[in-house]
């Protein structure tokens, strides 16, 4: 009975089936008028005589019983006809069958009703979050850093003079709802020792689309169609920029990939050039979002570069969205050595000012001792959650089990997305309750003034 899925809430199918039924009824009445009521009366009389002679049942009972059977038969025929029409169309559009289509429609309808979420960051942390969020809502905008200058992205950036496509590619793949082979193709890296060695096919594809269309936003939009992306992926800026870091000893490090390698304490990071124009669509997404999420990802090289783009931090401050920062689980050598959770938040506020973070999500699950030893050998340690320090920063703390542990300590996409979405819904419900309370209090005050 897979066909009954078409009647699930939110499918927007029942209303049209009802309208179809209404049309059949109206047509039936019209036919009765055209062919004169006496023919219907003759049919009714014939049915009555047949049933009465057979059963001896009274007139009104006979007509009621026969009417019910006729209605049931009509509805059955309508359902059968609707089913066959749908199957006929599906056999052409979706060869996999109606089961696949009805699941897709139900999923699309459900995801389209999800909250609007803007995610700001870069690196692997951002793509991990997106993989979880896309299972809850399709109203997603990933705003991605364009300061990457290493690997395949760095080479394409220097050779073609476009923004680095690597993090953009990872986000597209993370939000993709397509065949595994297509995802594998976009992530494929060429081997060998030639000019293509080390390049990702997805990076080259985005670069080619950018040259063909002359605009990186259009290139990402068209690439999203190829991968059937849920939501949209946008760069923070379309300008070619370089991330710079001023260290506490006064030295200046140029390049996102070089900053952690300096093994010095970072005083501040900034973009060169400093006046970098933002992508308007990214600012609009922040303004219209129900929630804006910063991270997870490298504090200085993934999260902050986006906020340093002109207008992004201001848009975040002006947005009515709940602003959530996802703190890293482990410190990063050469970047956040010795940082507590509050140090991460303080670094963001020192760079772009207050009003950009309402909540910080921290991990509450202890990291396994054997994994701590592995990370310690690389100079990384669990981030200490110093809850008392957050009050002075004007930020609330939410602790939750949000990690998965295999041979690495990583944020778990499912756990993380559930935590984020539950926060959004809870905060939205509280906001609605407060709005109603305010309305009630205002009404009572007005009433008292009138009295």
pLDDT per residue over 147-157, tens digit each? 888 888 888 98
Distance, in Å, from the CA atom of 170 to the CA atom of 187, rounded to the nearest integer, reads 8
pLDDT of residue 24: 74
For residues 149 and 256, is the Cβ–Cβ distance under 8 A? yes
pLDDT of residue 148: 86
Rounded alpha-carbon distances, angstroms, from residue 448 to 185, 440, 445: 69, 12, 5
- For domain 114-150+231-439, the CATH class is alpha beta
Tell me the two tokens of residue 320: 């009515």
pLDDT of residue 436: 53
The overall pTM is greater than 0.85: no
> 117-121 and 291-294: which strand pairing?
parallel
- Alpha carbon 199 to chain centroid, angstroms: 28
Tell me the two tokens of residue 220: 């990402």
Domain boundaries, the chain: 2-94+102-109, 114-150+231-439
pLDDT of residue 334: 92
Burial class of residue 17, CB neighbours in 10 A (0-12, 13-18, 19+): middle
For residues 133 and 304, is the Cβ–Cβ distance under 8 A? no
Phi-psi map region of 436: left, alpha, beta (phi>0 left; psi -120 to 50 alpha):
alpha
Burial class of residue 223, CB neighbours in 10 A (0-12, 13-18, 19+): buried
Distance, in Å, from the CA atom of 64 to the CA atom of 124, rounded to the nearest integer, reads 68
Within 10 angstroms of residue 61's Cβ, the number of other Cβ atoms is 12
Q: Is the peptide bond before 380 cis (omega within 30 degrees of 0)?
A: no
For residues 331 and 339, is the Cβ–Cβ distance under 8 A? yes
Buried b (16+ CB within 10 A) or exposed e, 240-275: bbebbbebeeeeebebbebbbebebebeebbbeeee
Tell me the two tokens of residue 380: 């990384």
Please give the backbone phi and psi of residue 398, each rounded to the nearest 5 degrees, phi first.
Answer: -125, 115
- pLDDT, one tens digit for every residue, the chain (451 residues): 455 555 556 556 666 667 777 777 777 767 666 655 556 666 666 666 665 555 555 555 656 666 677 777 777 777 777 766 666 666 665 555 555 555 566 566 667 778 899 999 988 889 889 988 988 888 999 999 998 888 888 889 888 888 999 899 999 999 988 767 778 888 898 988 878 888 989 999 999 999 999 999 999 999 888 888 889 999 999 998 999 999 999 999 999 989 999 989 999 999 999 889 999 999 999 999 999 999 898 999 999 999 999 999 999 999 999 999 999 999 999 999 999 999 999 999 999 999 999 999 999 999 999 999 999 999 999 999 999 899 889 999 999 999 987 778 889 988 998 899 888 888 776 665 555 555 544 444 444 544 5
pLDDT of residue 267: 96
Q: Which of 172, 424, 413, 140 shows the shortest CA–CA distance to 282?
A: 140
């Amino acid at each position: 009975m897979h066909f009954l899925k078409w009647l699930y809430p939110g499918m927007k199918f029942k209303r049209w089936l009802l309208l179809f039924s209404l049309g059949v009824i109206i047509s039936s009445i019209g036919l009765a008028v055209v062919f004169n009521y006496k023919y219907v009366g003759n049919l009714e009389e014939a049915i009555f005589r047949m049933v009465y002679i057979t059963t001896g049942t009274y007139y009104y009972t006979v007509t009621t019983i026969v009417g019910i059977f006729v209605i049931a038969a009509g509805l059955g025929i309508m359902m059968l006809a609707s089913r066959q029409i749908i199957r006929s169309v599906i056999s052409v559009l979706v060869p996999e069958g109606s089961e696949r289509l009805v699941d897709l429609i139900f999923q699309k309808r459900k995801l389209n009703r999800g909250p609007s979420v803007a995610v700001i960051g870069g690196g692997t942390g951002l793509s991990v979050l997106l993989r979880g969020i896309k299972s809850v809502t399709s109203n997603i905008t990933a705003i991605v850093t364009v300061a990457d200058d290493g690997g395949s992205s760095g080479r394409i950036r220097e050779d073609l003079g476009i923004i680095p496509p690597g993090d953009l590619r990872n986000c597209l793949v993370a939000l993709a709802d397509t065949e595994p082979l297509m995802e594998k193709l976009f992530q494929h890296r060429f081997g060998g020792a030639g000019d293509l060695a080390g390049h990702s096919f997805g990076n080259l594809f985005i670069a080619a689309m950018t040259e063909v269309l002359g605009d990186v936003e259009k290139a990402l939009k068209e690439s999203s169609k190829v991968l059937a992306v849920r939501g949209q992926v946008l760069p923070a800026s379309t300008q070619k920029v370089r991330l710079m870091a001023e260290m506490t000893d006064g030295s200046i490090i140029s390049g996102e990939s070089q900053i952690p390698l300096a093994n010095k304490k970072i005083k501040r990071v900034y973009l060169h050039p400093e006046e970098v124009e933002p992508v308007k669509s990214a600012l609009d997404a922040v303004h219209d979002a129900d929630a804006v999420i910063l991270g997870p990802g490298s504090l200085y090289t993934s999260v902050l570069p986006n906020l340093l783009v002109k207008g992004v931090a201001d848009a975040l401050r002006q947005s009515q969205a709940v602003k959530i920062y996802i703190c890293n689980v482990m410190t990063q050598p050469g970047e956040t050595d010795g940082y507590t959770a509050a140090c991460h938040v303080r670094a963001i506020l020192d760079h772009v000012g207050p009003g950009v973070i309402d909540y910080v999500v921290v991990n509450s699950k202890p990291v396994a001792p054997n994994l701590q030893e592995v990370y310690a050998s690389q100079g990384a340690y669990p981030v200490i959650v110093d809850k008392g320090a957050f009050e002075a920063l004007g930020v609330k703390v939410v602790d939750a089990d949000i990690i998965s542990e295999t041979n690495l300590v990583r944020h778990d996409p499912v756990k993380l997305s559930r935590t984020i979405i539950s926060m959004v819904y809870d905060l939205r419900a509280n906001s609605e309750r407060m709005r109603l309370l305010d309305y009630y209090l205002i009404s009572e005050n007005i009433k008292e003034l009138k009295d």
